[in-house]
Amino acid sequence: MATVKVKGMSCQHCVKSVTEAMEKLGAKDVKIDLLTGDVNYEEPAPIRKDDIKAAIEKIGFEYAG
């Protein structure tokens, strides 16, 4: 399992947007903790953090590592 941190999510719609963005990059089993901003996921094939950052920022959230 891998984890990234995303700031700016404040509702379940935000969670859905981020989940879908992650899935587009190939992430599976995406689980998001709205309170902490932790995004946990499985990566059947390695996903570059740079690509995640770009996708997260594109939909208006802040990638925080």
Which residue's entry shows tokens 């709205």? 34
Element (H, E) at 43: none
List residues near ligand 9UX by CB under 6 A.
Answer: 10-11, 13-14
Element (H, E) at 16: helix 12-24
Shortest separation between residue 17's beta carbon and ligand 9UX, angstroms: 7
Please choose, from the candidates 4, 16, 19, the residue with its C-alpha nearest in 3D space to the C-alpha of residue 53. 4
Shortest separation between residue 54's beta carbon and ligand 9UX, angstroms: 19
Shortest separation between residue 51's beta carbon and ligand 9UX, angstroms: 22
| Nearer Cβ to ligand 9UX (35/45) | 35
